[in-house]
Amino acid sequence: MKNGHEEPYAHASYRIAGPTHIAFSGGRTSAYMLYHILAAHDGKLPSDVVVSFQNTGREMPETLDFVADCARHWSVPITWLERDSDDDRGFRTVGHNDAARNGEPFQRLVEERGYLPNAVARFCTAELKVRVAKRYMLSLGYSHWTSVLGLRADEAKRVARACAPTKERWQNHCPLADAGITKRQISAFWKRQTFDLRLANVEGKTPLGNCDGCFLKSEKTLAALIRDFPERAQWWLDVESGVRTRGRASRFNKNFALADLASFVDRQGDWVFDQEDALCDAPHGFCE
Ligand code: SF4
């Protein structure tokens, strides 16, 4: 294989034509997808295929390192973007050194909106990721394009939703789903690589992936963040306590206030993590 690519990449879905945006989340799945798209193009993307990573400011440092590692190991340009309402384009380009690490783009968005995102009003995804990528593609002069998403074959509902016709300027394409790739193959792939995302892989999921305290994560995952990374959890506690909607305390999570969860973890100690029913382990969706 050329350019150090050792994996088979036979599926036609990895071959990309025309103006295309590859949404790189900084997780193992989208990195696997990027690797195979690269391999299908002999290690070099066509000039009208661009890859970007939208930084919310709440990614774990390991995720930022992984994005930089993928670019370096695979010699692929990945543009780092952050929402910036002071910039005429609505975004700014950053890099590993100057990327926001304390939630600045996220906090600014919440301040501008005056209320918190939650599982049914995920304006953080829309504003910090989807619209930033759209503005970036427009800034490059593209009017219509394909958006390549890292959704797997074992995420059929998400794939069906993503690939339905849209009124947007882009049509989504999910090559991993087309190629029948599931969590199992992605985990096996990363075991064979010389580098990896240095965040725990728990049955094919990365509890600390995406925004560290995302409200779509389960109560149990958020409780673990509070216990293991109290200084990172504090950002979410501070933002939640600083926003009031129509005079009332606002919450990221419908079922609990983060301050109450933090207090519960503090009072109860480690046993709640071992007790099956003490904390709910059901997530509330996915960040696109
Ligand atoms: S990971 Fe969660 S908090 Fe972050 S942008 Fe996505 S939905 Fe919002």
250/273 Cα distance (integer angstroms) = 27
Q: Check pocket membership of 125 for ligand 1, CB cut-off 6 A.
A: yes
Model confidence at 166: pLDDT above 90 = no
* Residue 8: per-residue pLDDT: 54
**Atom number in ligand 1 closest to CA 287:** 6
Residue type present at position 47: S
Instruction: Give me Rg for the CA atoms of the chain.
Output: 19
Cα angle 219, 133, 214 (rounded to 5 degrees) comes to: 10
Say if CB 204 and CB 226 are below 8 A apart: no
**Atom number in ligand 1 closest to CA 252:** 3
Q: Check pocket membership of 214 for ligand 1, CB cut-off 6 A.
A: yes
131 alpha-carbon distance from chain centroid: 14
Say if CB 199 and CB 69 are below 8 A apart: no
* Alpha carbon nearest to ligand 1 atom 6, residue: 287
Mutate to test the pocket of ligand 1, among 25, 104, 120, 125 (most ligand atoms within 8 A of CB): 125
239/107 Cα distance (integer angstroms) = 7
131/169 Cα distance (integer angstroms) = 11
**Atom number in ligand 1 closest to CA 128:** 5
Q: From the CA of 6, how far away is ligand 1's center (Å)?
A: 33
81/84 Cα distance (integer angstroms) = 9
Cβ-Cβ contacts under 8 Å for 76 (sequence gap 6 or more): 34, 38, 45, 51, 70
Say if CB 48 and CB 19 are below 8 A apart: yes
Say if CB 58 and CB 194 are below 8 A apart: no
52-69 tens-digit pLDDT: 999 999 999 999 999 999
Greater pLDDT, 287 or 148: 148
Token pair of 81 as six digits: 């973007």
38/76 Cα distance (integer angstroms) = 8
Q: Check pocket membership of 132 for ligand 1, CB cut-off 6 A.
A: no
* Residue 9: per-residue pLDDT: 58
- Please state, rounded to an integer, the average pLDDT across all residues of the chain: 92
pLDDT-derived band at 190 (thresholds 50, 70, 90) equals very high
Model confidence at 158: pLDDT above 50 = yes
Average pLDDT over residues 218-240: 96
Mutate to test the pocket of ligand 1, among 107, 110, 211, 240 (most ligand atoms within 8 A of CB): 211
Average pLDDT over residues 88-113: 97
All structural domains of the chain: 12-191 (3.40.50.620), 219-274 (no CATH)
* Alpha carbon nearest to ligand 1 atom 4, residue: 211
Q: Check pocket membership of 287 for ligand 1, CB cut-off 6 A.
A: yes
The candidate with the shortest Cα–Cα distance to 53, out of 70, 36, 74, is 70
Backbone angle region of 15, left / alpha / beta, with phi > 0 → left and psi within -120 to 50 → alpha = beta
pLDDT-derived band at 244 (thresholds 50, 70, 90) equals confident
Q: From the CA of 55, how far away is ligand 1's center (Å)?
A: 11
Q: From the CA of 211, how far away is ligand 1's center (Å)?
A: 6
The per-type count for the chain, helices as H runs and strands as E runs, is 12, 8
